[in-house]
Amino acid sequence: MATPQKTNAMRILEQKKLAHRCIYYDCKEFTDAVQIAAMLGQSIEQTFKTLMCIGKSGGYYAFVIPGAAALDLKKAAVCIGEKSVSLLPVKEIQAVTGYIRGGCTAIGMKKEYPVVLDAHAAAFEEIIISGGRLGTEILLSPDVFLKATNGKMAAVIIEP
């Protein structure tokens, strides 16, 4: 594998001098968080995915939730003060975020959108998120993630 290029997310973490680690793996196409965690022998509970939503007002929001979980759209809307939210269509992800599906992270998007990290992240010293491109992950503490995104933590998943 060639020397990996830095992503916007990595540059931002470095500029802000925020502690993180990167992992690189071979990946040519979209693979979901559950498959990646299994492939790399990582805890799926600790692996988080980024879901982009659009609110009734037209605003965009990033919700970062455990990889095997589903976003509770009602909880998500209440958390950000919207009447309702819906998942952003896949075909719009790159135009809105600057990242492709499977490489989307809440750090370093084209614009700074409100970010909500699911409360389950508080259980871990370190969480795993996309690094900003396929085949790249970033490991960092939930606090570092929140500092990097100006995000907040809230319970936004459908509980089993």
pLDDT in tens, 1-17: 445 688 999 999 999 99
Measure the CA–CA gap between 35 and 146, rounded to whole angstroms. Answer: 25
Rounded to whole angstroms, what are the CA distances from 111 to 62, 88, 96, 114, 133? Answer: 11, 15, 8, 10, 17
Residue 78 corresponds to which tokens in the numbers above? Answer: 């209440």
Residue 63, CA distances (Å) to 5, 6, 24, 80 in order: 26, 23, 23, 10
* CATH fold group of domain 8-154: YbaK protein (3.90.960)
What pLDDT digit, counting tens, does each position of 88-138 carry? 999 999 999 999 888 899 999 999 999 999 999 999 999 999 988 888 999
Cβ count near 17 (within 10 Å): 6
**pTM for the complete prediction?**
0.93
Q: How far is CA 129 from CA 32, 63, 85, 136, in A?
A: 12, 12, 22, 9
Q: Return the pLDDT at 115.
A: 98
User: What per-residue confidence (pLDDT) applies to 1?
Assistant: 47
Residue 154 φ/ψ, nearest 5 degrees: -160, 155
Q: Where are the alpha helices (DSSP H) in the chain?
A: 8-15, 33-40, 73-80, 93-97, 142-149
Largest CA distance in the chain: 46
Model confidence at 56, pLDDT cuts 50, 70, 90, reads: very high
> For the chain, which residues make up each domain, given as ranges?
8-154
What is the amino acid identity at position 132? G
